[in-house]
Amino acid sequence: MNAYVLLALAIAAEVIATSSLKTAENFTRLWPSVLVVAGYASAFVLLMQVMKTVPVGIAYAIWCGAGIVLVTLIASVLYRQVPDLAAWVGIGLIIAGVAVIQLFSKMGTH
């Protein structure tokens, strides 16, 4: 399977896990807790597979950047934690940073 498809699955698993943390209530609620543990375990297993072919720095930048953006968007819908202007600027900078790494970095060619 394509490494970037695996990376997308790793991001989805991490976003599900992170978004479930609040509702797991310190692991006192079973199903949200299962989502947290299963999501993080899946995310790390998938990320390890990705890093066999994608450089660590690039894979991690995409994984973290996409995770931050998606979790922020989900939190704004599920928990009404709506980002303000400064947060949107920060999210834009994260997206720009990941894009610069992906589009212009020669890190993966060494």
Spatial distance between the Cα atoms of 54 and 50, rounded to a whole number of angstroms: 6
Give the pLDDT score at 13. Answer: 98
Q: How many CA atoms lie within 13 A of 96 on its CB side?
A: 6
Give the pLDDT score at 36. Answer: 98
Q: Can you give the pTM of this predicted structure? A: 0.91
Summarize pLDDT for 34-86 with one digit per residue, the tens.
999 999 999 999 999 999 999 999 999 999 999 999 999 999 999 999 999 99
Summarize pLDDT for 2-46 with one digit per residue, the tens.
999 999 999 999 999 999 999 999 999 999 999 999 999 999 999
Identity of residue 85: L
| Residue 108 pLDDT greater than 80, yes or no | no
The tokens of 69 are what?
């953006």
Domain extent, residue 48, equals 3-109
How many separate domains does the chain show?
1
Residue-wise DSSP of 28-76: TSHHHHHHHHHHHHHHHHHHHHHTTTS-HHHHHHHHHHHHHHHHHHHHH
Do residues 73 and 18 lie in contact, with contact meaning Cβ atoms separated by under 8 Å?
Answer: no
Spatial distance between the Cα atoms of 30 and 72, rounded to a whole number of angstroms: 24
The tokens of 83 are what?
């980002």
Matching residue, tokens 């597979």:
49
Give the pLDDT score at 1. Answer: 84
